[in-house]
């Protein structure tokens, strides 16, 4: 199921200004699971229902299909609309922490004026919560693997791979790259990795901006002895 418009019943989400050529940003949400009230309150509400003066926002959502298919559907919907200048990918398990307002976080990423940029969050897994950003690593037999970033200096730098949890991509990237944009032919890595690999082949740099920070929410089983088991990865 695909949504291809401003969410029904919502007002125009920005203040028209004929003297300012505002960007039009598609809010791309691949809804593959139930969402929490935390995410709905902190992310979906502000992004879809709170207008900002510097841009227009249009919801582009897909559900009921695999993640890779949903992303490709949203990209095609965005390209079919000539007004759209960017896609902000927002996963339904990421919440902005700094800045806490996702509209402000979006504006920060937009002002960097680069084709691809992600905020910083940690991978959601059972242990060892490294950052959801990776650099290429050579493996035996000349295969290419991925090493997660464990630490960093500075606040803006290139990486080889990022997740799409809160990532702003310019329209030009998808226009230059052939479809499918998010192929996922094997179990690993994932559609995010394959997009980044192909984007770099097309000449684009993958950027990480660490001043935009997000939490990666999930489910925990807190044991009587105080240990925590991660139920969702």
Nearest to 92 by CA among 25, 47, 145: 47
Give me the pLDDT at residue 185, please. Answer: 84
How many domains is the chain partitioned into structurally? Answer: 1
3-state SS, residue 68: helix
Torsion sign across C-alpha atoms 232, 39, 184, 162:
negative
CATH of residue 80: 3.90.550.40
Kindly report the pTM of this predicted structure: 0.86
Give me the pLDDT at residue 125, please. Answer: 66
Cβ atoms of 158 and 205 within 8 Å: the answer is yes
State yes or no: pLDDT of 15 exceeds 60.
no
Three-state secondary structure along 108-158? HHHHCCCCEEEEECECCCCCCCCECEEEEEECHHHCEEEEECCCCCCCEEE
Question: Range of 187's domain?
Answer: 2-230
Q: How far apart are CA 47 and CA 10, in angstroms?
A: 12
Beta bridge mates, 25: 57, 86
pLDDT tens by residue, 55-108:
999 999 998 889 999 999 999 999 999 999 999 999 999 999 999 999 999 999
Q: What percent of the chain has pLDDT over 70?
A: 82
């Amino acid at each position: 199921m695909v949504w291809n418009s401003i969410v029904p019943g919502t007002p125009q989400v920005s203040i028209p200004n004929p003297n300012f050529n505002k960007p039009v940003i598609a809010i791309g949400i691949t809804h593959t699971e139930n969402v929490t009230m935390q995410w709905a309150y902190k992310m979906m509400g502000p992004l879809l229902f709170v207008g900002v003066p510097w841009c227009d926002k249009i919801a582009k959502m897909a559900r009921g299909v695999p993640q890779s298919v949903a992303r490709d559907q949203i990209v095609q919907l965005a390209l079919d609309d000539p007004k759209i200048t960017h896609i902000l990918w927002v996963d339904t398990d990421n919440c902005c922490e700094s800045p806490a307002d996702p509209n402000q976080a979006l504006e920060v990423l937009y002002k960097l004026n680069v084709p691809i940029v992600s905020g910083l969050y940690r991978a959601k897994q059972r242990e060892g919560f490294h950052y959801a950003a990776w650099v290429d690593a050579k493996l035996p037999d000349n295969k290419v693997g991925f090493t997660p970033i464990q630490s960093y200096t500075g606040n803006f730098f290139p990486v080889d791979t990022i997740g799409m949890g809160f990532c702003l991509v310019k329209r030009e990237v998808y226009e230059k790259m052939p479809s499918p944009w998010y192929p996922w032919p094997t179990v690993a890595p994932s559609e995010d990795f394959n997009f980044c690999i192909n984007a770099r082949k097309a000449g684009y740099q993958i950027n990480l901006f660490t001043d935009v920070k997000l939490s990666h929410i999930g489910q925990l089983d807190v044991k009587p002895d105080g240990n925590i088991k991660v139920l969702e990865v």
